[in-house]
Amino acid sequence: MRSLSFKQIALCLIALILVALFPLAFSKPFPQHVMILIFMFGTMAVAWNIMGGYAGMFSFGQVAFFGIGAYTSSFLLITYHVNPWIGLIIGGLIAALVGAAIGYPCSNLRGHYFAIASIAFGEIVRTHFNNWKLIGAAEGMTLPMMEESFENFMFHSSKLPYYYIMLAFLIISLIVCYFVATSKMGYYFRAIKESHDVAKVLGVNVVQYRLIAIMISAFLTAMAGTFYAQYVLYLDPESVLILPISVQIVLISMLGGAGSIMGPVIGAAILIPVSEVTRVMLGHKGTGIDMIIYGTLITLISVYQPKGVWGLFSNVGKRTR
């Protein structure tokens, strides 16, 4: 596929510099928190995009990987004092394995069937964790307050380290996505998305590549999970394994533009601030207006700009469905 043009690289660099300087201009915790959420959901949306936007598996169960990542690293930290960075890798690997395990029997499910299966998967994981005494069941786990350091993956006096770490995770996800999209693998993914039969005729091992897409997606999502645990210092099934998180990930990808590399990030950059700001400004009244606005926005964008915001900028692929 095409490699990045000079213009695209320049734009990315400028964006990166602006984002890196943001916390210096906005030094209060709340704007930084909103940006961190953008990076976190952006990462998960990019991860979703790899299996959904590119390989055509619309997953509504990503939260399971998020939760597995968060729980794995936290459990290892609390019980065995394993360093959270190592816990992060282990969490990612477990999530990938679980993803493959569930992905294999679901290999020939498409479209709506796959979507509902992914919801079922997410709910089964949540129910199981909710009753699993080993990891705290419904009461969840509280991370110990440790000395502030990069090695401990914990910071108390400022959000800046969290900010840059999550930004780094996002960039890593984008790089992975870029390599996937521009490699032969990406070509196979798109073939699979178009039609399993066509892909098979082209000699693509459909099952194998579907599993690879799931595993990559799961690993990246689990990374975000570990970050969440280290950031909020408390997790329970109600906060890291619920369906609304999966739905939000899909919404973000779609709004931003599924099937493009930067689309999901743009989606996060729009939806997260909207939902945070409306909650802050209107949520406290309890009238639900903030969510009415959110729902209207989603509906309008779906109707009038279904290719997402990225579709506005993209000149490529004007073909209709």
Partner 1 sequence: MTDQLVQQIVNGLLIGFMYSLIAIGLTLIWGVMNIVNFAHGDFLMLGMFTSFWLYTLYGVDPLFSIPVCTALLFILGLLIYRYIVSKVMKGPMLAQLVVTFGVSIFLANLAVFLWTPDFRLIEKPLLHGTWDIGEIKLSIPKFVATIGSVIASVFVFLFLKRTKTGKAILATEMDREAASLMGINTERINSISFALGSALVGIAGAFLSTYYYIYPQVGGTFGLIAFCVVALGGFGSIEGAFIAGIIVGLAQTLGGFFIDPAYKFAIVFLIYLITVWIRPEGLLGW
Partner 2 sequence: MSRKEDKMGTKKLWVIVFSLLLVLILSVFVYAQPKVIKIGAIYPLTGNLATTGLDCKRGVEMAVEIINGKYDLSLPLAKTEGLPNLGGAKIEIIFADSKGDPKNGMAEAERLVTQEKVVAVIGAYQSAVTKTASQATERLKIPYVCSDSTSPTLTERGFKYFFRAECTDTIFAKNQFEFLEDIKKKTKSKIESVALLYENTEWGANVGKEEQKYAKEFKYKVVADIPYSQNATDVSSEAGVLMKNKPDVLLHASYITDAILYTKTFKELGFSPKGFLTMAGYLEPGYLATVKADGNNMIVRSTFALDLAKRKPLVAQVNELYKKKYGMEMSGNAARSFTAPFVVAEAIDRAKSTEAEAVTKALMATNIPGDQIINPWKGIKFDPQTHQNIYATGILVQIQDEQYFTVWPFDTASKDIVWPFPRWKK
The Cα 114–Cα 117 span in angstroms is: 5
Binding partner at 172 among partner 2, partner 1, none, C-beta below 5 to 8 Å by kind = none
Residues 42-101 that bind partner 1 (CB under 8 A): 52-53, 58
Residue 144 is a binding residue for partner 1 (CB under 8 A): no
Residues 268-287 that bind partner 1 (CB under 8 A): 286-287
Alpha-helical regions (H) of the chain: 6-25, 29-49, 63-80, 84-103, 111-131, 160-182, 184-194, 196-201, 206-232, 237-240, 243-256, 263-282, 289-304, 308-313
Site of interaction with partner 2 (CB under 8 A): 28-30, 33, 127, 130-131, 137-140, 142, 156-157, 228, 232-234, 236-239, 276, 279-280, 283-286, 288, 290-291
Residue 123 is a binding residue for partner 1 (CB under 8 A): yes
**Min dist. Cβ of residue 100 to partner 1 (A):** 15
Output 137 or 172, the one with its CB closest to partner 2: 137
Length of the chain: 321
**Min dist. Cβ of residue 294 to partner 1 (A):** 6
Output 224 or 249, the one with its CB closest to partner 1: 249
Give the contacts of 206 (CB within 8 A, at least 6 positions apart): 107, 192, 196, 199, 200
**Min dist. Cβ of residue 53 to partner 1 (A):** 8
Residue 128 is a binding residue for partner 1 (CB under 8 A): yes
The Cα 109–Cα 289 span in angstroms is: 38
Residue 141 backbone phi and psi in degrees, to 5: -130, 140
The DSSP output letter for 4 is: P
Beta bridge partners of 141: 235
The Cα 311–Cα 69 span in angstroms is: 32
Residue 254 is a binding residue for partner 1 (CB under 8 A): yes
Output 20 or 116, the one with its CB closest to partner 1: 116
Alpha-helical regions (H) of 183-260: 184-194, 196-201, 206-232, 237-240, 243-256
Strands (E), the chain: 141-142, 234-235
Determine the residue type at 8.
Q
Binding partner at 69 among partner 1, partner 2, none, C-beta below 5 to 8 Å by kind = none
Residues 284-313 that bind partner 1 (CB under 8 A): 286-289, 291-292, 294-304, 306-307
Apex CA 223: angle with CA 309 and CA 95, to 5°? Answer: 105
Residue 158 is a binding residue for partner 1 (CB under 8 A): no
The Cα 150–Cα 153 span in angstroms is: 5
**Which single residue is written with the structure tokens 């993956």?**
153
Q: Which stretch binds partner 1 (CB under 8 A): 102-110, 178-186, 200-208, 228-236?
A: 102-110
**Min dist. Cβ of residue 9 to partner 1 (A):** 28
Beta bridge partners of 234: 142
Determine the residue type at 180.
V
Binding partner at 111 among partner 1, partner 2, none, C-beta below 5 to 8 Å by kind = partner 1
Binding residues vs partner 1 (CB under 8 A): 52-53, 58, 105-106, 108-109, 111-113, 115-117, 119-121, 123-124, 127-128, 130-131, 243, 247, 250-251, 253-255, 258, 286-289, 291-292, 294-304, 306-307, 320-321
